[in-house]
A and B are shown apart, each in its own frame.
Chain A
């Protein structure tokens, strides 16, 4: 009988288009210039997201999402589950680092005007992911259902209530009623482990495909300089060069993550006492401190308008302008320098840093 040889590579290529995918990965070139360091942020975020996707389900094995059991189940994870304290701490710190790097990624891409044509939709998907990551961080913060989480639920769900038109509906939807009650934790749990990660995965897939298809954005200043000097911008292939760099950065990040998890394991606050009034100086998690501080400083009424409504509307307008940057920054779209948007980005960065610091230390 004639022996048949099976060509595994060919068979896989035929069925899974592996050859096409490898060719696509090899095709992408990464430009080398003084701003190239910002290109590493996306990969770091991806690594942290993968860590979250591994540690999250492990915590789910033991977490009991009900107002009566959530706190004790977290205590059990910390004390009784083998390496439970480590898994929870890695999950906690990776989410914090993810939000921190997401802020760096957001500000760096905004300042180098990476949203320019043809990357408008890459920018929009990035912004959606940024919001999802922030909301994931907030919902995760409330799940231990300790005293801090309880007041964070109260303060955090109160804020959308000030949004014009849809505010009250959003507030009731998030709380499962008028007040923070038994249904609120279930809703936040469903959002944290179901809705938000799935949405993030879907948008992430689109984002990665778009980055792969369009390649890395080059800052206008670098392009102009190269044009003036009549030279081409040097580039290295994404695979293998930048993948090795990403791997090195990822290893350092994992080292930092475990160092934080071992040296500063995540806390569990006091049990909720529903009769106790909100403690003085209760604050949201660090990534919403700037919003909290801005709203705190706005007077109760400004020109007859409620201060909180005014503040939230103002912040929403700024967020809207950032979201729509590719469509309103016409100068960048024409590949010209747009100092107005650079100043806007720098002022936003300064406001974020200063108000977060004030909220943290005072």
Chain B
């Protein structure tokens, strides 16, 4: 400790203990939740599963996997996106080159 003395350490320790009691006491005044939520094990599992799998709209894991598949259309789309990105970068590089030229000519300040 920079101003290391037993007095300082004791004061620091006492402050920590008092603050801990204060926080604990304050938290005890405010409940963390409204009512006890049902424990996981007591959730009516079968009902939830039945509800989730009922009806014609239920989507199976196979359908989700199919939606995730890499198709040729998606790859073409991605190639198109990259082409646009590269074009935009070329245009920005040209702009940057012009600004750098202005910078070299002293249009902007060169130092901090």
Contact = CB atoms under 8 A, between A and B. Distances in A.
Contacts of A175: 33, 37
A112 to B, nearest CB: 16
Given A177-B38, A255-B82, 4 more contacts: A233-B112, A244-B96, A251-B85, A275-B41
Contact of B99 (A78, A165, A173, A241): A241
A46 interface: no
Contacts of A181: 37-40, 43
29 contacts: A67-B43, A68-B51, A72-B52, A75-B63, A78-B67, A165-B20, A175-B37, A176-B33, A176-B34, A177-B33, A178-B36, A179-B37, A182-B37, A236-B103, A237-B103, A237-B109, A241-B96, A248-B89, A248-B92, A252-B89, A258-B81, A259-B82, A262-B70, A262-B74, A262-B75, A262-B78, A271-B49, A271-B52, A275-B41
Contacts of A80: 59
5 residue pairs, one from A and one from B, having the closest CB atoms: A177-B37, A181-B37, A172-B32, A75-B59, A173-B32
Contacts of B85: 251-252, 254-255
A15 interface: no
A232 B110 CA distance: 9
A213 B20 CA distance: 38
A271 B52 CA distance: 10
Nearest to B39: A179
Interface residues of B, number: 51
A232 B59 contact: no
A115 B7 CA distance: 31
B64 interface: yes
A130 B33 CA distance: 27
A353 B40 CA distance: 35
B45 interface: yes
Given A241-B99, A258-B81, A262-B74, A79 B108 contact: no
Contacts of A273: 45
A54 to B, nearest CB: 16
A62 interface: no
Contacts of B103: 236-237, 241
Given A75-B63, A165-B24, A262-B77, A244 B92 contact: yes
Contacts, number: 142
Interface of A: 29, 31, 67-68, 71-72, 75-76, 78-80, 85, 164-166, 169-170, 172-173, 175-184, 218, 232-237, 240-241, 244-245, 247-248, 251-252, 254-255, 258-259, 262-263, 265, 267-268, 270-271, 273-275
B94 to A, nearest CB: 10
Contacts of B58: 72
Contacts of B112: 29, 31, 218, 232-235
Contact of A183 (B27, B37, B74, B108): B37
Given A85-B67, A183-B33, A235 B110 contact: yes
B88 interface: yes
Contacts of B51: 68
A182 B43 contact: yes
A178 B31 CA distance: 12
Nearest to A241: B99
Contacts of B108: 236-237, 241
A29 B39 CA distance: 57
A45 B97 CA distance: 25
Interface string B57-69: 1110101101110
B37 A259 contact: no
Contacts of A170: 32
A180 B59 contact: no
Contacts of A29: 109, 112
Contacts of A258: 78, 81
Given A166-B27, A176-B37, A68 B68 contact: no
